[in-house]
Amino acid sequence: MGIQTLIQTSINSIKILDNQNFELISTEQTFTADRVIITSGGTPKLSGLKWIEDLGHKVVEPLPSLYTFNMPGNPVCELMGIVNENTTVKIEGTKLIADGPLLVTHWGMSGPAVLKLSAWGARILAEKQYKFNALVNWLHTQKDFQAQEKLEQFAGENPEKLVSTYNPFGLSKRLWLFLVNKSEIHEETRWKNLGRKNQNRLVNTLVNDCYPVNGKTTFKEEFVTAGGVDLSDVDFNTMQSKVVQGLFFAGEILDIDGITGGFNFQAAWTTGWIAGKNSGNNL
Ligand SMILES: Cc1cc2nc3c(=O)[nH]c(=O)nc-3n(C[C@H](O)[C@H](O)[C@H](O)COP(=O)(O)OP(=O)(O)OC[C@H]3O[C@@H](n4cnc5c(N)ncnc54)[C@H](O)[C@@H]3O)c2cc1C
């Protein structure tokens, strides 16, 4: 009731007037309002948040989140299209770790395990200028001694079979052959002739496989911004600014970013609902 919707109208500036009202200047006209909810979404540059700072708020530098890892020239890219369902990926020298399906692409690695790392590590990986080592455990959570035991048991049960074509872990044939080659095991080697050194190299490749990452690529065209309005400046019960009465925030303009799976939409909807409900109340 009494709501006017203006489309194709850009707000170019917001001023706080003396009597706690706001003046909004758009491309078309100037409005005054006693409540404003800002839901202008994410921005990739700090300069895009200057107007928020000018209103007295702290902002956290915006950075991209949800991207895939580039591994230029790495032979693993020949496996493009392969998905290893249960994989753990760590970032060397950090505490960052994530698990889930891993997809090999023609430029590197993607899939939920990688996307989660890009979200949780958005700031750390940006500081590293997207150059770091990804350590892949193709056997999910299995430790080296568990892999070792399984290999020994399998070798005992299948002595005449070729290492390069039979594996006890249910890994895809192409991935397994790649890992065997990477471990410098001859394709004609039989399980009974594997030997301790080969076995150790194979175990290391299976549970601690190192891939240098150099750069990132946007996942599909999805782009989520980590950073935005500092959460300490916002009352989460109402989504009202703690700095400016009558001003509310919702959605990706806030320093909230989620992993894939609808969490960013949910954050936008939930904060939008709270802001909408509370902006109608007496302050
Ligand atoms: C391709 C793509 C796929 C995505 N897929 C998913 C997904 O599957 N799941 C998920 O959870 N998240 C996904 N996201 C993220 C999700 O879309 C956002 O987190 C969410 O839309 C944020 O909502 P928002 O309303 O805060 O901002 P936005 O949806 O970005 O809306 C902001 C609006 O404000 C307008 N605006 C900005 N500045 C001004 C101004 N000065 N004056 C007037 N209007 C202005 C913009 O034009 C825009 O319409 C995806 C993002 C992209 C780009």
Determine, yes or no, domain membership for 4: no
Quote the pLDDT of residue 115: 94
User: Whose structure tokens read 């006209």?
Assistant: 29
pLDDT digits (tens, 9 = 90+) for 146-156: 999 999 999 99
Which residue's alpha carbon is at the smallest distance from atom 34 of ligand 1? 40
What is the average per-residue pLDDT within 235-240? 97
Judgement on whether residues 69 and 136 belong to the same structural domain of the protein: yes
User: Whose structure tokens read 């959570």?
Assistant: 141
Determine, yes or no, domain membership for 3: no
Q: How far is the CA of 55 from the centre of ligand 1 (A)?
A: 22
Q: How far is the CA of 41 from the centre of ligand 1 (A)?
A: 5
- Domain with 199 in it: what CATH number? 1.10.8
Decide if pLDDT at 251 tops 90. yes
Quote the pLDDT of residue 221: 66
What is the average per-residue pLDDT within 102-126? 95
Quote the pLDDT of residue 20: 74
Residue 99 in contact with residue 93, Cβ under 8 Å? no
Q: How far is the CA of 191 from the centre of ligand 1 (A)?
A: 54
Quote the pLDDT of residue 223: 72
Ligand 1 touching residue 259 (CB < 6 A): no
Quote the pLDDT of residue 225: 87
Nearest atom (ligand 1) to Cα of 26: 42
- Among 16-25, 42-51, 272-281, the range with the most confident prediction by mean pLDDT is 272-281
Confidence of residue 27 (pLDDT cuts 50, 70, 90): confident
Judgement on whether residues 79 and 105 belong to the same structural domain of the protein: yes
Q: What is the DSSP string of 112-140?
A: HHHHHHHHHTHHHHHHTTTEEEEEEETTT
Nearest atom (ligand 1) to Cα of 12: 41
Ligand 1 touching residue 11 (CB < 6 A): yes
The Cβ of residue 65 has, within 10 Å, a number of other Cβ atoms equal to: 26
Decide if pLDDT at 43 tops 90. no
How many separate domains does the chain show? 3
Determine, yes or no, domain membership for 51: yes
279's enclosing H/E stretch is helix 263-279
Decide if pLDDT at 5 tops 90. no
Judgement on whether residues 34 and 90 belong to the same structural domain of the protein: no
Q: Which of 197, 218, 239 is the last residue of a domain?
A: 218
Ligand 1 touching residue 74 (CB < 6 A): no
What DSSP designation does 190 have?
B
Mean per-residue pLDDT over the chain, rounded: 94
Reading the block at residue 161, the tokens are 């079979």
Decide if pLDDT at 279 tops 90. yes
Domain that includes residue 151, residue range: 144-209
**pTM for this entry:** 0.85
Quote the pLDDT of residue 19: 73
Mutual angle of helices 144-157 and 196-207, in 10-degree steps: 130
Decide if pLDDT at 222 tops 70. no
